[in-house]
């Protein structure tokens, strides 16, 4: 049995989760392509090679990368100037793969092997201590993409679990407050 079209498309995308395509990640972009609401030439990290793979899968003509979404360039990774880092943690939430290590009021660093080069951490930094530099290994392989996808999915599962735990704590607090209020009223 063949995987649904959106899954086949997603398997061809670079999984940098950079949002340059105009979608919240590679999977939503793949779904939009499958539905016909997005074009195959919106992914700068995938570049010409990615467009060719998508055109082959979909049986459509390849076309140049749409410059409205960016330009194709060599793979980059985030680097934090640790001397200038103030430990504000504003770079942590936007990182789609939890590639940044650090805690509040402590210096942060990027785990290069986990960085997809999405650049989402750069803008939130209030002291401009994050820069994008050429990756030691410029080739982004299918293995890298699969690893990036797994890291992205793991982060999303962690965030979903944290939200559920927070909601449960709030619910328990509301119930406790209701009991306290009820006990005070009955006195």
Task: Dump pLDDT digits (tens) for 89-144.
Answer: 999 999 999 999 988 988 899 999 999 999 999 999 999 999 999 999 888 899 99
Q: Supply 90's token pair.
A: 């504003």
**DSSP SS3 for 100:** strand
Label residue 69 exposed, middle or buried (CB < 10 Å: 0-12, 13-18, 19+): middle
**Which stretches of the chain are assigned E, i.e. beta strand?**
76-80, 100-101, 109-110, 130-134
Q: Which of 34, 151, 172 is nearest to 96 (CA)?
A: 151
Residue 179: per-residue pLDDT:
85
Residue 146: per-residue pLDDT:
95
Residue 154: per-residue pLDDT:
96
| Contact by Cβ (8 Å): 117, 76 | yes
Along the 187 residues of the chain, how does pLDDT read in single tens digits?
Answer: 467 999 999 999 999 999 999 999 999 999 999 999 999 999 999 999 999 999 999 999 999 999 999 999 999 999 999 999 999 999 999 999 999 998 898 889 999 999 999 999 999 999 999 999 999 988 889 999 999 999 999 999 999 999 999 999 999 999 998 888 888 887 6
Residue 182: per-residue pLDDT:
83
132: β partners:
78
Q: Supply 7's token pair.
A: 């899954």
Q: Supply 57's token pair.
A: 């899968």
Residue 137: per-residue pLDDT:
86
DSSP 8-state class, residue 68? G
Tell whether the torsion through CA atoms of 164, 165, 171 and 175 is positive or negative. positive
Tell me the C-alpha to C-alpha distance, in Å, between residue 112 and each of 78, 79, 130: 8, 8, 13
DSSP 8-state class, residue 73? -
**DSSP SS3 for 30:** helix
């Amino acid at each position: 049995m063949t995987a649904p079209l959106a899954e086949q498309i997603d398997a061809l995308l670079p999984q940098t989760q950079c949002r340059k395509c105009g979608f919240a990640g590679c999977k939503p972009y793949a779904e939009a392509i499958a539905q016909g609401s997005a074009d195959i030439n919106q992914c700068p990290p995938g570049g010409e090679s990615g467009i060719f793979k998508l055109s082959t899968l979909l049986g459509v003509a390849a076309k140049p990368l749409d410059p409205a979404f960016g330009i194709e360039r060599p793979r980059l990774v985030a680097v934090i100037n640790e001397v200038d880092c103030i430990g504000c943690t504003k770079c942590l939430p936007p990182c789609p793969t939890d590639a940044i290590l650090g805690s509040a009021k402590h210096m942060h660093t990027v785990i290069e092997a986990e960085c997809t080069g999405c650049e989402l951490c750069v803008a939130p930094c209030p002291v401009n201590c994050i820069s994008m530099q050429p990756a030691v290994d410029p080739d982004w392989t299918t293995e890298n993409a699969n690893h990036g996808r797994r890291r992205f999915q793991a982060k999303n599962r962690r965030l979903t679990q944290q939200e559920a735990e927070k909601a449960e704590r709030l619910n328990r607090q509301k119930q406790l407050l209701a009991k306290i209020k009820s006990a005070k009223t009955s006195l």
